[in-house]
Structures are given as C-alpha cells and as structure tokens.
Amino acid sequence: MKFTIFQETRQGARQYNQDRMCYSYSRDSLLLVVADGMGGHLHGEVAAQITVELMADLFQKKARPTIQNPHQFIADGFMKCHDAIFNYAANHSLLETPRTTVVAAIVQDGVLYWAHVGDSRLYLVREGKVMARTRDHSKVQQMVELGRLTPEEAERHPEKNKIYNCLGSMFPPEVEIGGKVPLSDGDTVLLCTDGLWGGVTQGELEQMLTGYPVLYALPQLLDRAETRGGIHGDNLTGVAINWHDEDDPSISGLSTKKLSDGEVTTRLNTLASDKALKESKEITEADIEAAIQEIQNAISKYSK
C-alpha cells in the first residue's frame, strides 16, 4: 500500500476536547477511526478514548497482515466498544452515560470499507466530487429523508447535531455498514467529526481535498471551520489519506511494502497528552490516571 496520511484534532471553543482519532496499519491493511465523545467532565473523553484504543488494539491483533472480513470486523468492534463504555458507566454508577459517535474505515487490497454510528462522517472524494458520504444518524437527516427539509436547509438547521444513535447509550447502537469501493490513484478519504464538516461546505471539501494533498488541505479546512465556529465552536477532528499507485515511483508517500508480516504501526492521541485536561482545575492528575487505568482495563477485557 502507498498513501499520504494526516490527522489533527483541535479543541475549538470548548473547555475540553472530547474528540479522539487514530490510524493503524500493517503491511497490507489500514484502519482509520474518529470518535466524538459526549458526556460530563472526562466521561465523553473516556468513551471516545475507549473506542479508538480498543479498535486499534483489535486491529493490531487481527491484521495478520489483513483483516479477514473488514465490515464484520468494524461492526463487531463497535459493539465491543459499546459494551466497554456501558460497563464503565455501570461501574461508576453514572447518572449520565458516556457516549460517543464513531466512524471507521479499513483499506486493504485497494478497496475501501467503512461503517459508522452517529454523525461523524466519512467522505470519499474523487476527481473533484464526493463519490460517497456517510448518512448522519440525526433527526434533521430523518426530516430530509421524509421530504420535510431540503439538504441545504438541513445544513443550516439549529438542531442538525442532535443524534439518535451512538455508542454507550441505553439502547444497542445501530451500526450502519458502508460501501465496498475500489480506490483509484489520487482518491482522498476523510473521516471527521461534526465540528469540521459543520463548519465547511461540501464544495469547499471537494475543492480543497482535490486541489491539495491532505498534509495541507486538512489543516486549511480545520482553520476555516474553527474560524467560522467562533466563540461557540465545537471540537474539530479529521483523519485523511491520499491514495497512491504503489507502482508509481514519482509519487512520494508512505509505503508499507517493507513492513514485516506481523508488524503494525499505530498513531493515536491519549488522555495523558491532552493539555487542557492536564491544566484543568476541575480534573486532577489522579482523575486522569484513574481514567487511563479504566481504559486499559476495558481494552484488556474486550479485546480478547
């Protein structure tokens, strides 16, 4: 495989960043995950953190060097994440259950697979156009499908971010399985939270992701969305790749060809590295350490 990859998350105008992201790759398979946590102090972060870390851990165990059934792997992984979050809430007798949206994708054998829960999105952009996009699990999207709103009205609707489907809720999540799409040289895949997609238009996404490599395009899109969000801006997160023809030596990019059969590389952000949490007067170092231990316990229990 050969691709260019970039990921970034920003706090926006919120007190804390409850978004989490990761990517992990073996010689022949690539996993991308973005999660948008919801809940009180630390709980939203923990829900999202459990999700990205558990998905990455499962991938590391099962990408040998490919995933046998990518769609089933993602769906099963989401259910394990849901169970782990729900168990965390029960152990702490929380009145408000931590929740998170999630979108994940796997690329292997030149084919893109994806699934999602909630309104974190995946976009596949090819030759200047969005070829595929996830469907938001939101009340506003339901209104569009019933013909009560146009897509343009939905983008401006004040309740466009109210969702009915997530991990960690009282009800089992409805995992929506996406497509199975062969990638072409030059395709761009973006996974992002609503803080990013809600602050830019689809036309802007198409223009930036087609005209520039993700190393430049994603930071520019984040800048634009963050500026427009202003003092009410949400957390913003994106993970994006440019897909390359592995046989074209003129294109620079990350090649996995030289990785050994069982080697896996993972990049993710953690609670311990969250500057806002560490500087918070409401959350102590002990709170963070306890949450990290809870996350590790969940991963150990549910990644088997």
Walk along the chain (304 residues) in steps of 10 and give the mean pLDDT of each run: 96 94 97 94 90 97 94 98 92 85 98 98 97 93 86 76 89 95 97 96 96 96 97 96 86 86 89 85 88 92 88
Q: What is the dihedral of CA 203, 208, 211, 214, to 10 degrees?
A: -140
CA distance readout (Å), 132 to 71, 151, 165, 180, 252: 16, 15, 20, 11, 26
Of 2, 21, 15, nearest in space to 222 by CA: 21
Copy the structure tokens of residue 50: 């459990």
pTM: 0.95
Element (H, E) at 88: helix 70-91
Report which of 18, 16, 20 is spatially closest to residue 32, judged by C-alpha positions. Answer: 20
Here the tokens at position 140 are: 């506003």
**What residue segments make up the domains of the chain, in order of their start?**
2-302
**CATH homologous superfamily for the domain 2-302:** PPM-type phosphatase domain (3.60.40.10)
pLDDT for 261 = 83
Q: Which of 183, 74, 195, 201 is nearest to 131 (CA)?
A: 183
pLDDT for position 271:
86
